[in-house]
Amino acid sequence: MNTFGSSLSRVAVIGNYLPRQCGIATFTTDLCESIVAQYPDLTCLALPVNDRPDGYAYPDRVRFEIAQNDITSYQRAADFLNMNNIEVVCLQHEYGIFGGPAGSHILALLRELRMPVVTTLHTILKEPDPHQRTVMLELIQLSDLLVVMSRRGAEFLRQIYGAPAEKIVFIHHGIPEVPFVDPNFYKDQFGVQGKIVLLTFGLLSPNKGIEYVIEALPAVLEKFPNVVYIVLGATHPHVALREGESYRLRLERLARARKVDRHVIFHNRFVSLEELTEFIGAADIYLTPYLNRAQIVSGTLAYTVGMGKAVVSTPYWYAEELLEDGRGLLVPFRDPSALAERIRALLEHDGERHAMRKRAWLLGREMIWPRVARQYVEVFERARELRATHPRPAFAAVTLEQRPLDLPPLKLDHLRTLTDGTGVLQHAIFTVPNYNEGYTTDDNARALALAVLLEQVGEHFPLAPRYLGFLWHAYNSAVGRFRNFLAYNRDWLEEVGSEDCHGRALWALGLVLGRSQNAGLRGPAARLFDQALPATLEFTSPRAWAFVLIGVDEYLRLFSGDRAAQNAREVLAERLLELYRRNRSPDWRWFEDIVAYDNATLPHALLVAGRGMGRKDMEEAALEALSWLAEVQRAGGDHFVPIGSNGFYRRNGERARFDQQPLDAHAMVSACLEAWRLTGDSGWQKEAQRAFEWFLGRNDLGLPLYDAATGGCRDGLHPDRVNQNEGAESTLSFLMALLEMTMAAGVIDAAKAPLAATAACT
């Protein structure tokens, strides 16, 4: 083997690593090993990201492991790289492998690095959500060079994200170097000698479209009865954790139903590279019937094209590019008839199939790992030269205005303490659960909502089914309403709970249906939501209307065609707007003659309803009311002062200063972040931060309500002290505010990054 020299001596690659089973792990491992094989004097360290606490049995090349959802782990990784004389860092970027909203935790690492960064982009989205866009924008800013594996990817970076063309480098996805051989050479190893072999490989998940190949097989077998279809690969670990083997079993049932089960082979393993090349070698035709057009690169397709296989694929972006110039055939998505037609055509015309194979194999000579590894090292050297001519300061002087938000670590200890086999208990004596007070639907709804937010930031929280089970038990189907208070002996203390409790339950159920990926939660939540929604049209409580509106907004994210939900939103939003108009005056911009509890929820609900319905009048009224409330809750000062529960605040009366409640701080955080997302006005982000800091001691007494030892929150602020009890309402209010601030921080910090870079360079 030829080896090469480089001016570099130490590089590090960040990304998943084998034996973790995923495409990024395979790519990162192959890249590191290929670089070392070509450049024996170059040290290549690997820093993988762990998606489970016990990690993996990594090889010696792995020198530091990053915990996916622990942002401090990313910061420690940056320290490790800075202290170990790493000359270039190569990041393998895919949103889903890093913690935080849209994988934003990786930015905490990159911001601290002193050496050049070369980022390989495995996903480049044409229509990113706000979090994904802002993470990508900062990633572009923090990277010295960007590697793409398709021409379309380079186009997206320039046109959608404004990346400078000079930062973008095209390098093919690497593939193993294998000779151009006849498929029959390998077939006897798998017991398919004398057969025509169709192959699909990769980690199994429902977006692979394998069911359409099975649907196509009867038509293929009519003409070629000796065809076998091999599906190679284990179920994706994350899919297996969430859904088990349901997709594979569904495919097996389909094969039996179509009477092709004698022609389908499932090889349920994550195979080694050597085994993989032999499987590919045995294939006459490779199939990628993927369902999602928005795929910018595919390692499986790169392997098979580069190894000279005839390919039939759906027209996702990477396939369109790699299979052009006669290197493969494209078929429409979800079209078994077209698949069967193309497969039969290739099998009927040997000359055309072999010419296609040859064209693909010739392109593959540009994709083999030795060549790709040399191109990467050339890019690393170029990045170091660019940094030498355009140095960045080792320390960037970042003002408080530009600095990322300082948020406490997430700690769920006290919530677990308050949760038993029934649900979350409503009260505590100091930090000890108070069994005498039992449970409420209010608090279990809050806990269920929190569980969905935890899922969004990648935290596995196994108590969600318990909280949903409580709501299921609380629903009284005889009257179509939720009960609220449950004694510790599990006796209900009422047949019908408050309207507010019913509204909060619908809010949590809507959150499950709009955001959770857990099918086990979504099924029961959908039934409850459907049964519980009609009663809300008779409600008279404005806060109940508000909770329902927020829940319906979440629900309609995915079920926008549901007329019953649309109607409920229209009716309740009109009532809330009319209430505001009826009570509003120049000096009292509020919905009622009293500012009471959970206040910011009212403008929050009107804001999301207005956005969803395209009603600017609702949005304007909501923003006006929220601005007025923010001013009232500053009480002439600079810190957040929620309306006290000892009398509240009546029109033309004196506002109660105490007792101040955590649920009001959370309501303000949530509403202000919604206003910020809608308007882009950073003033709303500052109001959210002001309200959140009330928990941390920026309040009338200068005392924290957040308990750093337990992760709980004290029950309120009295005129002379903090209430030391840590009940469910206060603890859940704090935890939800923390999670919402955390999710927003990924966007906020990315927006600030260009400002910080400018400040550092001036």
CATH of the domain at 498: 1.50.10.10
3-class secondary-structure state, position 265: strand
The domain tally of the chain equals 3
Residue 47, in any domain of the structure: yes
Query: What average pLDDT score do residues 424-434 get?
Result: 97
* Other Cβ atoms within 10 Å of 426 Cβ, number: 22
The answer to whether residues 208 and 165 belong to one domain is no
Q: Judge whether residue 57 has pLDDT over 90.
A: yes
Give mean pLDDT, residues 590-608. 97
Phi, psi of 343 (to 5 degrees): -65, -45
Residue 753: pLDDT band (50, 70, 90) is very low
Query: Is residue 4 included in any domain, yes or no?
Result: no
pLDDT of residue 405: 59
What was the pLDDT predicted at 750? 39
pLDDT at 758 over 60: no
Residue 402's pLDDT band, with cuts at 50, 70 and 90, is: very low
- 566: Cα separation from own chain's centroid: 27
404 belongs to a structural domain: no
295, 313 contact by CB (below 8 A):
no
* Token pair 């009366």: residue: 653
Q: What is the pLDDT of residues 624-641, one digit of tens each?
A: 999 999 999 998 889 999
**DSSP code for 538:** G
**pLDDT value at position 593?**
97
If asked whether residues 108 and 208 sit together in one domain, one would say: no
The residues, ordered by sequence, that sit 6+ positions from 158 with a Cβ below 8 Å of its Cβ are 165, 168
Query: Tell me, what's the pLDDT at 594?
Result: 97
The better pLDDT of the pair 6, 608 is held by 608
Q: Per mean pLDDT, which range of 277-286, 636-645, 685-694 is the poorest? A: 277-286
Least confident piece of the model among 181-185, 531-535, 712-716: 181-185
pLDDT at 635 (0 to 100): 83
Distance, CA of 671 to CA of 666 (rounded, Å): 9
Residue 762 has pLDDT above 70, yes or no: no
Between the alpha carbon of residue 161 and those of residues 135, 238, 345, the distances in Å are 11, 30, 41
434 pLDDT above the threshold of 70: yes
Which of 389, 423, 458 is the last residue before a domain boundary?
A: 389
Mean pLDDT, to the nearest integer, of 526-549? 97
Q: Determine the pLDDT at residue 100.
A: 83
142 and 253 in a single domain? The answer is no
331 in Cβ contact with 313 (< 8 Å): yes
Burial letters 263-293, b for 16+ CB under 10 A, else e = bbbbeeebeeeeebbbbbbbbbbbbbbbbee
Peptide bond connecting 659 to the previous residue in cis, omega within 30 degrees of 0: yes
HEC profile of 574-614: HHHHHHHHHHCECCECCCCCEECCCCCHHHHHHHHHHHHHC
Say if strands 481-482 and 196-201 run parallel, antiparallel, or are unpaired.
unpaired
Residues 238 and 101 in one domain: no
Greater pLDDT, 211 or 270:
211
Please tell me which residue, 132 or 670, carries the higher pLDDT value. Answer: 670
Same domain, 144 and 158: yes
d(CA 700, CA 762): 39
664 occurs within a structural domain = yes
Could you say which of 302, 332, 365 is where a domain stops?
A: 365
Do both 139 and 208 map to the same domain? no
Q: Is the dihedral of CA 694, 698, 699, 702 positive or negative?
A: positive
pLDDT at 596: 96
| Alpha-carbon gap, residue 501 to 493, rounded angstroms | 14
User: Does the structure show a pLDDT above 90 at 445?
Assistant: yes
- The residue count of the chain comes to 762
The helix (run of H) or strand (run of E) holding residue 330 is: strand 329-330
Output the pLDDT for position 622. 98
Give the CA dihedral 378, 384, 388, 392, nearest 10 degrees.
140
For residue 702, give both structure tokens.
Answer: 């200068």
Residue 397 lies in a domain: no
Residue 616 makes CB contacts below 8 A (sequence gap 6+) with: 610
pLDDT at 393 over 70: no
Distance CA 562, CA 761 (A): 52
Of the two residues 336 and 100, the one the predictor is more confident about is 336
How far are the Cα atoms of 94, 109, 372, 392 from residue 75, in angstroms, in the given order? 19, 5, 30, 19
- Residue 284 has a pLDDT of 93
In this prediction, residue 270 carries a pLDDT of 74
Write down the pLDDT at residue 264: 93
- The pTM score is 0.65
The predicted structure's pLDDT at residue 616: 97
pLDDT at 394: 53
Rounded to whole angstroms, the Cα distance separating 426 from 27 reads 49
Tokens coding 36: 């070392």
Q: Which residues contact 214 (CB under 8 A, 6 or more apart)?
A: 229, 251, 254, 255, 258, 260, 264
Structure tokens at 95: 């949103």
Is 3 inside a domain boundary?
no
Residues 381 and 447 in one domain: no
Per-residue pLDDT of 467-513, as tens digits, reads 999 999 999 999 999 999 999 999 999 999 999 999 999 999 999 99
**Measured between alpha carbons, how far is 448 from 502 in angstroms, rounded to an integer?**
14
- Checking if the pLDDT of 620 tops 90, the result is yes
DSSP state of 702: -
Taking Cα atoms as reference points, which of 430, 402, 406, 404 lies closest to residue 418? 430
**Quick one: average pLDDT of 438-443?**
98
Comparison of pLDDT for 752 and 588, the residue scoring more: 588
Q: Which residues lie closer than 8 Å to 684 by C-beta, 6 or more apart?
A: 672, 673, 675, 676
Sign of the CA dihedral with 121 first, then 122, 128, and 133 last: negative
At 191 the pLDDT is 84
pLDDT in tens, 260-269: 999 999 988 7
**CB–CB of 150/121 below 8 Å?**
no
User: Would 1 be classed as within a structural domain?
Assistant: no
Residues of the chain with pLDDT > 90: what percent? Answer: 77
Mean per-residue pLDDT, 419-441: 97
pLDDT at 116: 96
Q: What is the pLDDT of residue 2?
A: 64
Rounded Cα distance between 462 and 467, Å, is 10
Q: Are 339 and 315 in contact (CB under 8 A)?
A: no
Nearest in space to 286 (alpha carbons), one of 323, 313, 325, 321:
313
| Per-residue pLDDT band at 748 (split at 50, 70, 90) | very low
Q: What are residue 241's phi and psi, to 5 degrees?
A: -65, -35
Q: What is the pLDDT of residue 4?
A: 79
| Residue 1: predicted pLDDT | 54
Long-range contacts, stretch 638-642, CB < 8 angstroms, 24+ apart: 638/690, 639/690, 639/693, 639/694, 639/698, 639/699, 639/700, 640/665, 640/668, 640/690, 640/691, 640/693, 640/694, 640/698, 640/699, 641/699, 641/700, 642/599, 642/668, 642/694
Residue 228 in tokens:
């076998």
Same-domain pairing of 130 and 217: no
| pLDDT beyond 60 at 327 | yes
Q: Examine residue 119 and state whether it is found in any structural domain, yes or no.
A: yes
Same domain (yes/no): 662, 536: yes
Do 557 and 654 have their domain in common?
yes
For residue 391, what are the contacts with CB-CB under 8 A and spacing of at least 6? none
State residue 267's pLDDT score: 87
Is the predicted pLDDT of residue 536 greater than 80, yes or no? yes
Q: Same domain for 203 and 265?
A: yes
- Structure confidence at residue 101 as a pLDDT band (50, 70, 90): confident
Q: List Cβ<8 Å contacts ≥24 apart for 127-130.
A: 127/294, 128/160, 129/102, 130/677, 130/747
Residue 211 has pLDDT above 50, yes or no: yes
Phi-psi region of 209 (alpha: psi -120 to 50; beta: other; left: phi over 0): left
- Residue 411 exposed, middle or buried by CB count within 10 Å (0-12, 13-18, 19+): middle
Over the stretch 380-392, which tens digit does the pLDDT of each residue have?
Answer: 999 999 998 887 7
Confidence of residue 300 (pLDDT cuts 50, 70, 90): confident
Q: How far is the C-alpha of 275 from the C-alpha of 480, rounded, in Å?
A: 59
3-state secondary structure 723-748: ECCCCHHHHHHHHHHHHHHHHHHHHH
Mean pLDDT of the chain: 91
Judge whether residue 403 has pLDDT over 50: no
pLDDT for 634 equals 93
- Report percent pLDDT > 70 for the chain: 95
One-letter amino acid of 744: A
Average pLDDT estimate for 331-342? 96
For residue 565, what are the contacts with CB-CB under 8 A and spacing of at least 6? 533, 552, 555, 556, 559
Residue 316 domain boundaries? 184-365
**CATH number, residue 103:** 3.40.50.2000
Same domain membership, residue 743 and residue 622? yes
Statement: residue 754 has pLDDT above 50 = no
- Could you tell me if 296 and 288 are in contact, meaning their C-beta atoms sit under 8 angstroms apart? no
